[in-house]
Amino acid sequence: MQPSTADPIESARRLYAAELCRVNHISSPAILRAFSTVPRERFVGPGPWMIQTSGTEWFTESADPQNVYRDALIVLDAAKRLNNGQPSLWAFHLILLNVRPGDRILHLGCGTGYYSAILAELTGPHGKVVAVEIDEGLAARARIALEPWPQVTVAHADGAQGPFDSADVIVVSAGATHPVAAWLSALKPEGKLLFPLTSTRGPGTMAYLTRKSADLFAAMLCGSVFFVDFEGARDSAVSDELARALKRDHGAGVRSLRCDAHEKDESCWLHGSGWCFSRRTAVPAQLA
C-alpha cells in the first residue's frame, strides 16, 4: 500500500469543515467547500494560539497550523477582546444568506478577514466583497491575508458610516443595538442583511433582514450570541429597551422591520427612531 501523500494541514481543514457541517446539520455543498478551502492559519497570526472554548482559555502546545482547525474561538487581541469568531456560528448563519455566485457583498467589522475569505469563496471570482475594518492594524492584516482573493477589497473605515455601494448581502461582525440607516440604504431589493443585535448585558441574537420595499424588510431574530460592540452602532437607551425585549421572548414573534412613520402599538416588538422591529408580517401592500 502506498503511503498517503495528502498534505496534513489540508486534510485537517477538510475534516474540520466536514465536522462543522455534520454537527450543525448543514447540507450546503458551498459552505462545506468554502470552509474546506480557506486556510484559517493565514488569518490568526503565528502560533501557538490562545483558544477560547467552553468558558476556558488555553494555549495550543505548538505552532502547527493543524491546531487552528477546531470549532473554537482563536484570540487575536486579548486586551481588546477580539477573536476570530466561532466557525460553527458563522457557518450556520451564512446559510440563511444563501450567497449566490456573482453577489456584491459588504462585510463590516471584518477583523483579519477570515470570514471575508469565506464570503469570497461563496460569491466566486465574478462576485465582489468589500471588507471594512475600523481598526487600522486589523485592516492591514486583512489586506495582506486576503491577497489570494482578488474579488475582495479591504477598506480601513468606520462601518457605521455610509454611504456604501449597493449590496446583495451585508454581513456585520460586531454587535449593534439597532439597524443602522446606512446599512439599510445599501441593500438592493431582496438584499439580505445579517447582524448581531446586542444589548450591553446578557446574550443578544442574530438579526436577519430581507428588503421587501423602500421602508419594509422581512425580519427574523434567531440564536443566542455574544459579540464585541460595533462602535457607532450603539445607543444606550435603545440597549436598555432591547435587553427588556430580549428577556421577554428573545424576539420569537418578530416578523418584519418597519421604517415607515407610525405610532407605537401592540405589534411593535422594539420601536426605535425611524425603525421598528414588528410582529407584523412583511407584506408591502398592507403598509401602502
pLDDT tens for each residue of 3-45: 445 799 999 999 999 999 999 999 999 999 999 999 999 999 9
128-133 and 152-156 strand pairing = parallel
For the cut 90, the answer to whether the pLDDT of residue 287 exceeds it is no
Peptide bond into 3 cis (omega under 30): no
Percent of the chain past pLDDT 90, that is, above it, reads: 90
Measured from the Cβ of residue 10, the count of other Cβ atoms closer than 10 Å reads 12
For residue range 79-114, what is the model confidence (pLDDT) as tens digits? Answer: 888 999 999 999 999 999 999 999 999 999 999 999
Closest CA to 133 of 105, 158, 169, 166: 158
198 or 231: whose pLDDT is higher?
198
For residue 252, what pLDDT is reported?
A: 93
Q: Apex CA 273: angle with CA 268 and CA 277, to 5°?
A: 30
Count helices and strands in the chain by DSSP H and E runs = 7, 14
Cell (9 digits) for 151: 474579488
As a whole number, the mean pLDDT across the chain is 94
The answer to whether residue 1 scores a pLDDT higher than 80 is: no
**AA identity, residue 131:** A
d(C-alpha 151, C-alpha 117), whole Å: 10
pLDDT for position 53: 85
**pLDDT recorded at residue 3:** 41
Amino acid at 288: A
| This model's pTM is above 0.85 | yes
CA 31 from chain centre, in angstroms, equals 14
Distance (Å, whole) CA 35 – CA 40 = 9
Cross-strand bridge partners of residue 130 = 106, 153
Give the 3-state secondary structure percentages of the chain, helix then strand then coil, rounded to 5: 30, 30, 40
At residue 55 the predicted structure's pLDDT band, cuts being 50, 70 and 90, is: confident
pLDDT surpassing 50 at residue 286:
no
Single out the residue of 3, 44, 5, 37 nearest to residue 18, CA to CA. 37
Query: How is domain 79-287 classified at the architecture level of CATH?
Result: 3-Layer(aba) Sandwich (3.40)
Domain ranges of the chain: 79-287
The percent of residues above 70 in pLDDT, for the chain, comes to: 97
pLDDT tens per residue, range 117-167: 999 999 999 999 999 999 999 999 999 999 999 999 999 999 999 899 999
What span, in angstroms and rounded, lies between the C-alpha atoms of 41 and 38?
9
**What's the pLDDT score for residue 285?**
58
Predicted confidence band of residue 2 (pLDDT cuts 50, 70, 90): very low
Give me the pLDDT at residue 266, please.
95
